[in-house]
């Protein structure tokens, strides 16, 4: 099943939840494009692989792992949290929260944060998994919590940004955005800055919030709601943010890739491009995978398309990440693809698992960590 079809769409006016499979029937789905042949210039090496739980089946998720210098942290659908040695893949510790989770592990300053399906935010000590505190949220969270020295930040599907003291769990402040009637079941991930944060919402706006108070510093509409129906006007900013050349970049479903100057709260350029995934940056480009399964590179300065690879159509591509001189992107059939940053041609490919690679991969140094929907955590490097 195409991952977009498994992303429930929430109709807030009626409170009904519509399955993507009800909007796009299986008979209308295009088959995944067969893999093209190419000469492998490099090869992936599996450094280690370990089971970190029961996985997520066909459920779409943003359950990306979190990585420190010495460990990789992951959670499975049932609430089992695992700390794995990044050097050799050995399990350092595991705990079971005994409840399903809705978002991946957040990590920062020795603290982990996990959100349960019940709406509880649970803070754990990264060293041993012991519980620090837990708090009940007002709504579901699907994006990874963000953590700095002072606070844990969660973006909720009801349009609220809520912050809690990292040490005690005391609520600090809440910002409430006005969300449209119809949204994708998911949110973007706030970008924490030295004195505040940026957040993108389903109404097509990016808002800068003061870190101390949550007061809006500026807001900028980067998506235009057009079309006759709520579905046609769907434009969630679910892709999060990347930073390059003092600019911030984000993208949205049925929307655009946008370059923002945060100093002037202005749009530098926009490119029509529909994505519900994150972006990557390198070689002076912004990389994005679209809802149809193409990977495209845009010039950071001019927005011009540098290259576009459409040979992975309908394969349910994940978020691209930069690995060395290449761009790596996983698909819903379990393959990791490696493309040249220069022109987008295929450099390498590996079948990581037989299940989907929906979770965003994480790169640290020469290693890329990949969590499959079956709960396999794999560390890969290039040779």
Q: What is the pLDDT of residues 261-287, one digit of tens each?
A: 999 999 999 998 888 788 999 999 999
pTM over 0.85: yes
Q: Give the pLDDT score at 205.
A: 85
Record the tokens describing residue 26, joined without a space.
């299986």
Q: Give the pLDDT score at 51.
A: 96
Q: Give the pLDDT score at 242.
A: 93
The pLDDT of 71-85, averaged and rounded, is: 96
Q: Give the pLDDT score at 58.
A: 59
Examine the pLDDT at 341 and tell me if it is beyond 70.
yes
Q: What is the pLDDT of residues 25-49, one digit of tens each?
A: 444 568 999 999 999 999 999 999 9
Instruction: Name the band, by pLDDT with cuts 50, 70 and 90, for residue 302.
Output: very high
The pLDDT of 291-313, averaged and rounded, is: 96
Q: What is the pLDDT of residues 54-66, one digit of tens each?
A: 877 655 556 889 9
Q: Which CATH number covers residue 238?
A: 2.130.10.10
Q: Give the pLDDT score at 275.
A: 82
Instruction: Name the band, by pLDDT with cuts 50, 70 and 90, for residue 183.
Output: very low
Q: What is the pLDDT of residues 199-217, one digit of tens each?
A: 988 777 899 999 999 999 9
Percent of all residues in the chain with a pLDDT value above 70, rounded to a whole number:
83
Domain of 80, in residue numbers: 3-382
Examine the pLDDT at 364 and tell me if it is beyond 50.
yes
Q: Give the pLDDT score at 259.
A: 93
Percent of all residues in the chain with a pLDDT value above 90, rounded to a whole number:
70
Residue 71 and residue 126 in contact, taking contact as beta carbons nearer than 8 Å = yes
Based on the structure, what is the number of domains in the chain? 1
Instruction: Name the band, by pLDDT with cuts 50, 70 and 90, for residue 155.
Output: very high
Instruction: Name the band, by pLDDT with cuts 50, 70 and 90, for residue 186.
Output: low
Q: Give the pLDDT score at 180.
A: 52
Examine the pLDDT at 254 and tell me if it is beyond 80.
no
């Amino acid at each position: 099943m195409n991952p977009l079809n498994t992303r429930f769409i929430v109709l807030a006016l009626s409170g009904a939840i519509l399955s993507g499979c009800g909007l796009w029937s299986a008979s209308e789905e295009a088959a995944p494009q067969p893999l093209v042949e190419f000469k492998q210039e490099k090869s992936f090496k599996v450094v280690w692989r370990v089971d970190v739980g029961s996985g997520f089946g066909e459920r779409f998720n943003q359950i990306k792992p979190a990585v420190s210098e010495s460990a990789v942290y992951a959670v499975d659908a049932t609430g089992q949290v695992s700390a794995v040695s990044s050097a050799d893949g050995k399990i350092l510790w595991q705990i079971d929260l005994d409840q399903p989770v809705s978002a991946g592990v957040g990590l920062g300053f020795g603290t982990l944060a996990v959100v349960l399906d019940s709406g509880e935010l649970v803070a754990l000590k990264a060293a041993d998994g012991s519980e620090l505190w837990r708090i009940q949220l007002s709504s579901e969270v699907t994006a990874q919590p963000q953590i700095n020295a002072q606070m844990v930040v969660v973006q909720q599907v009801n349009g609220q940004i809520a912050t809690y003291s990292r040490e005690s769990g005391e609520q600090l402040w809440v910002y409430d955005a006005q969300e449209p009637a119809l949204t994708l079941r998911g949110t973007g991930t706030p970008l924490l800055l030295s004195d505040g944060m940026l957040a993108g919402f389903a109404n097509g706006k990016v808002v800068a919030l003061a870190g101390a108070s949550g007061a809006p510093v500026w807001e900028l509409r980067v998506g235009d709601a057009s079309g006759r129906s709520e579905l046609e006007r769907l434009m969630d900013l679910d892709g999060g943010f990347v930073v390059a050349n003092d600019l911030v970049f984000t993208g949205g479903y049925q929307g655009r890739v946008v370059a923002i100057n945060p100093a002037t709260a202005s749009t530098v350029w926009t490119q029509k491009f529909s994505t519900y995934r994150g972006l990557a940056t390198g070689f002076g480009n912004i990389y994005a995978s679209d809802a149809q399964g193409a990977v495209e590179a845009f010039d950071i300065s001019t927005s011009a398309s540098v290259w576009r690879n459409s040979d992975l159509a309908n394969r349910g591509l994940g978020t691209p990440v930069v690995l060395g001189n290449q761009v790596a992107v996983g698909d819903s059939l379990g393959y990791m693809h490696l493309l040249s940053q220069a022109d987008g041609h295929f450099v390498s490919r590996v079948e990581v698992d037989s299940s989907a690679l929906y979770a965003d991969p994480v790169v640290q140094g020469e290693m890329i960590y990949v969590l499959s929907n079956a709960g396999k955590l794999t560390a890969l490097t290039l040779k």
